[in-house]
Amino acid sequence: MSATGDIHNYPRVPHNDQIINALRTLGKGTKPVFLSEYGIGSLLNVIGEWRCFQQAGAREDLEDASLMRSMARELEADWKRLGMQDVYPFAEDMLLDSQRLHSRQRLVGFDAIRSNPQLCGFNITGLLDHSITGEGLWTFFRRWKPGVADALSDGWAPLRWCLFVSPLHGYVGRKLTIEAVLANEDVLAPGRYRVRLSVFGPTGNVWRKSVTVEVPAGSKGAPAPLALPVFKGELKLKGPAGPYTFAAEMDGASPTGGRLNFRLSDPVGRTTTKDAVALWGIDGKTQRWLERHGFRCRTFTPTAPRRREVILVGDLSKRKTAAAEWQQLAAQLARGSVAVFLSAKAFREGDNGVRWLPLRKKGRCYEYTDWLYHRDWVAKRHPIFDGLQAPGVMDWDYYGEVVGHSVLEGQDTPDDVAAVSFAAGNHNYPGGYGSATLMGAYDFGHGRFVLNTLDILEHLNKHPAADRLLVNLIRYAGEHARGPLAKRPARFDQLLVDLEYTSSAGPR
């Protein structure tokens, strides 16, 4: 860094506190830095763009038109196959929602960049959805994406507030950090300015503070700083749960921005269920959390219970599992129990990420890097998302890193789909398009199992959405795990062979 004043930076999305802090401290202790490339794109509106080609009377064999048509048809076919019709009026609305949320994420980047006094310039990625991607501020046919003009007007303003709340989705009664920084490009005359800060919630103003910011005079050898820290502190708000706004204003000046929305949620309460959950590969910390919330836990063992039960399965990749254990799990599922796989790493053996996946068509499992070109995660109307932001594109301000980056791809369509990821206009997928199930249930004999790629366990007791998802998953599984165990289905031994759990379908 000390040898150059130019940097390209495309960190993973959603940005966590560490990434935001890295953007805010680029160039610290060095000469000023020009951030020559940075940005967060959206999904490419392949449906709308294909219709623009049609509207213009373009030949369908043109390379760009043909590719746009192909992606649009794949998306619409998946939309129907995955049962997404009740999420939005039309599939294109999901793409438009992706563009709208992208404009909010542009402001996240502006806050981080404009609050960094060492960044002397910023070249935004990118102006246009060129190369058949979703990286631009304009669409392929030169239309502004929803909300992006307002975001640019705010983000490039010579005088603007950069506000931060961590976490953006927190718990009632727990600490959160708020911070205000004033970006100033020689707009304000030197002097002292009075600033008023407020946190406004469902009951009105719940916190206020007045501070003074001093704008220094610059000189030929030492220009005035491009960003001035105004306030940073910790709060603990008692609620109620709901949407909140961190607001700032100042006397004698009118910066843009000055409002940042965040959310507080109540911790989940104790369950009233009397059913036990069996745990396999679940750590002690998670078990204690479950027990504090009223769940009776037992260790998954080869001895089958008399009744159907819910089995929670964690990351088994760090231990060597035996075929006999997977055979026993399959036997219990086939007789009516329900397994919830809380980690996509549960099926890994060595380099094979789907070795123990209980499906004949195993597909593949891998980690995807979501950055400038990213997927969007879409939740359906489903009991697993009760009490959460759904249906629709999962807002990063609400879910944060819970959305995760594991991908299960190439399997048969689940019998019950709860959430899906979509990529449209993405170079990392053949033909520019891809989709994958984030969460869905498969019938298995008299029982079923749930596949999940969201990072729930990693954020349990750290993010309200993770807590609620876990409770909802157990309740959902419990509704399908009632009554005594059924008889083992016919041809079960052959099923074990098909799943590659055993090499022989002989008597067992």
pLDDT of residue 507 exceeding 50: no
pLDDT of residue 81 exceeding 80: yes
| pLDDT confidence of residue 245 | 98
| pLDDT confidence of residue 508 | 44
Peptide bond into 126 cis (omega under 30): yes
Write the CATH number of the domain with boundaries 159-265: 2.60.40.1930
Strand ranges (E), 148-216: 159-166, 169-171, 175-184, 191-201, 204-215
Collapsed DSSP state (helix, strand, coil) of residue 506:
coil
Kindly report the number of other CB atoms within 10 A of residue 175's CB atom: 12
How far is 407 from 44, CA to CA, in rounded Å? 20
Which residues, including other chains, have CB under 8 Å from residue 212's CB and lie 6 or more apart?
192, 193, 194, 195
Mean pLDDT across the stretch 165-172?
Answer: 98
Its pTM surpasses 0.85: yes
pLDDT of residue 344 exceeding 80: yes
Reported as a pLDDT band with limits 50, 70 and 90, residue 505 is: low
From residue 41, give the alpha-carbon distance in Å to each of 95, 128, 130, 145, 372: 12, 10, 12, 11, 5
pLDDT of residue 191 exceeding 80: yes
| pLDDT confidence of residue 506 | 53
| pLDDT confidence of residue 303 | 76
159-265 and 276-498, same CATH topology = no
How far is 320 from 177, CA to CA, in rounded Å? 41
Reported as a pLDDT band with limits 50, 70 and 90, residue 218 is: confident
State which H helix or E strand residue 232 sits in: strand 227-236
pLDDT of residue 2 exceeding 80: no
How far is 89 from 92, CA to CA, in rounded Å? 8
pLDDT of residue 470 exceeding 70: yes
Cβ–Cβ < 8 Å for 486, 335: yes
pLDDT of residue 1 exceeding 60: no
pLDDT of residue 304 exceeding 90: no
Question: Tens of pLDDT along 98-157?
Answer: 999 999 999 999 999 999 999 999 999 999 998 899 999 999 999 999 999 999 999 999
| pLDDT confidence of residue 220 | 78
| pLDDT confidence of residue 4 | 62
Cβ–Cβ < 8 Å for 370, 134: no
Which residues, including other chains, have CB under 8 Å from residue 154's CB and lie 6 or more apart?
107, 110, 160, 256, 257
CATH superfamily of 276-498: Class I glutamine amidotransferase (GATase) domain (3.40.50.880)
Mean residue pLDDT across the chain: 95
Q: What does the DSSP assignment read for 298-355?
A: EE--SSPPSB--EEEE---TTS---HHHHHHHHHHHHTT-EEEE--GGGG-BTTBTTT
Collapsed DSSP state (helix, strand, coil) of residue 443:
strand
pLDDT of residue 3 exceeding 70: no
| pLDDT confidence of residue 14 | 98
pLDDT of residue 62 exceeding 70: yes
Which tokens in the block code for residue 216?
């220094």
Question: Tens of pLDDT along 174-190?
Answer: 999 999 999 999 999 99
pLDDT of residue 272 exceeding 90: no
| pLDDT confidence of residue 274 | 74
| pLDDT confidence of residue 219 | 80
Name the burial class of residue 176, with classes exposed (0-12), middle (13-18) and buried (19+) by CB atoms within 10 angstroms of its CB: buried
Domain boundaries, the chain: 1-148, 159-265, 276-498
